[in-house]
C-alpha cells in the first residue's frame, strides 16, 4: 500500500534539525535517539517510525488530503542507509575517532536536508538504482 509522500519529507525535516543540533552540540545521546528513529523506520517502515507517527497523529490531520503517494520500500531503504551513517556517527562520537562522528553525521544531515528542502531522497534513489541493476542482471 502506498504512503502519503509528505510523511517521509516531514520526517526528513525533523531529522535535519536533530542532526544539525548533534553537529553543533556533539551530543551522542541525541544521535543515539536519531539512530533509534532510523532503526524503527528501517524495521517497521517510515509510517511506524517516531517521526512518521508524529506526522500521522499531529500533522496530517491539519493538512488537506494527500495528492501524491509513493511506494513504502524506497523510504524504508533510505531509513536503513540513515541507520548506517548514524550508527557510524555514534561510534565516532562515543569511541572515536571524533572525525568519524562528524563526517558520518554530516553525511546523514546532507541527505536529510536534500529530502526535506528539495524532495530529493538519496536513499530512495539508491534503492531504485539497485532495483534496476538487479532486474537487468536476472
Mean pLDDT (whole number) for 40-51: 95
* Predicted pLDDT at 134: 86
Grid coordinates given for 21? 543540533
Q: pLDDT tens-digit profile of 76-112? A: 999 999 999 999 999 999 999 999 999 999 999 999 9
* Predicted pLDDT at 137: 64
Mean pLDDT (whole number) for 11-34: 98
| DSSP assignment string, 30-66 | HHHHHHHHHHHHHHH-GGGSHHHHHIIIIIGGGS---
Q: Are 117 and 15 in contact (CB under 8 A)?
A: no
Q: Is the dihedral of CA 23, 28, 19, 57 positive or negative?
A: negative
For the cut 90, the answer to whether the pLDDT of residue 136 exceeds it is no
* Predicted pLDDT at 81: 98
Q: What is the SS3 assignment for 3?
A: strand
Q: pLDDT tens-digit profile of 69-82? A: 999 999 999 999 99
Mark out the alpha helices in 1-138 (DSSP H runs).
Answer: 6-25, 28-44, 50-54, 73-94, 98-118, 122-137
Distance CA 23, CA 98 (A): 11
CA-closest candidate to residue 90, choices 103, 81, 77? 103
Mean pLDDT score of the chain: 95
Q: Is the model's pTM score more than 0.95? A: no
Amino acid at each position: 500500500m502506498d504512503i502519503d509522500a509528505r510523511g517521509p519529507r516531514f520526517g526528513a525535516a525533523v531529522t535535519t534539525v536533530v542532526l544539525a543540533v548533534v553537529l553543533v552540540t556533539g551530543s551522542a545521546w541525541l544521535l543515539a535517539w536519531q539512530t533509534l528513529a532510523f532503526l524503527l523506520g528501517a524495521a517497521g517502515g517510515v509510517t511506524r517510525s517516531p517521526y512518521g507517527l508524529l506526522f500521522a497523529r499531529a500533522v496530517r490531520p491539519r493538512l488537506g488530503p494527500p495528492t501524491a503517494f509513493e511506494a513504502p520500500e524506497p523510504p524504508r531503504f533510505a531509513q536503513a542507509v540513515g541507520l548506517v551513517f548514524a550508527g557510524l556517527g555514534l561510534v565516532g562520537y562515543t569511541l572515536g575517532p571524533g572525525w568519524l562522528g562528524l563526517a558520518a553525521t554530516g553525511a546523514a544531515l546532507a541527505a536529510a536536508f536534500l529530502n526535506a528542502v528539495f524532495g530529493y531522497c538519496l536513499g530512495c534513489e539508491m534503492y531504485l538504482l539497485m532495483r534496476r541493476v538487479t532486474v537487468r542482471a536476472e
